[in-house]
Amino acid sequence: MRSSKSRSRNKNRNNRPSGGNIINRVFDSSGPDGKVRGTPQQIIEKYNQLHRDAQLSGDRVNAENFAQHAEHYTRMLAEAQREVEQRREEQEAQNRERQAERDRERQERAKAQEAAANDPANAEQPSSAGFDQPIIDSNDEKDNGLVETPEEKPKPRARKPRAPRKPKADAPKDSSAPEAAE
């Protein structure tokens, strides 16, 4: 039983277990009747078919040989499926633990918010990132320790120059009004 990957690619990984999914991996199996290539399930089916054919032809030795080859791949496939199932169960357990932790955190935050809403004077101020923040009294507006920046100052509105008023056409000129310059 040799994987279809070339030997040169496997030389640098000889001592490490292959972490791939062998359920879908393609193998080259060198059996008594030549090479059989495919996934473990396909190889099992092929060897079972060869086993039946050998039994029907009366060749008990080859029938037993094919049955043993099929059994080998059956065991290998069953072990791989157990490992996949075990990993899936471990992941589900981890996900349940994470979800339970998130639920506990939500409940704690909800309790803290409820306590703050019911009694704001005695409620603890939640701090960000676990650091204690100084509480600044906002009643002292003149000297709060903050520096006023240009972005905070309100910008004065630029006034548009007014267009000169046009005299009304209907109004007669008043001769008694002093004229400024002539």
**Sequence-ordered alpha helix ranges (H) in 6-59:** 7-10, 40-57
Distance CA 88, CA 78 (A): 15
Q: What DSSP assignment string belongs to 70-108?
A: HHHHHHHHHHHHHHHHHHHHHHHHHHHHHHHHHHHHHHH
CB 70 within 8 A of CB 37: no
pLDDT tens-digit readout, 151-161: 766 666 777 77
Tell me the β-bridge partners of 35.
30
Q: At what angle do helices 60-118 and 40-57 cross, to 10 degrees?
A: 150
What average pLDDT is seen over the chain?
76
Distance CA 176, CA 182 (A): 15
Task: Answer with the residue of higher pLDDT: 139 or 159.
Answer: 159
Tell me the β-bridge partners of 30.
35
**What integer is the mean pLDDT of 19-47?**
83
pLDDT tens-digit readout, 36-74: 888 999 999 999 999 999 999 999 999 999 999 999 999
Domain boundaries in the chain? 22-118
Does the pLDDT value for residue 89 go beyond 70?
A: yes
The sheet with strand 34-38 has its strands ordered as 2-3, 27-31, 34-38
Tell me the β-bridge partners of 28.
2, 37
Task: Answer with the residue of higher pLDDT: 117 or 126.
Answer: 117
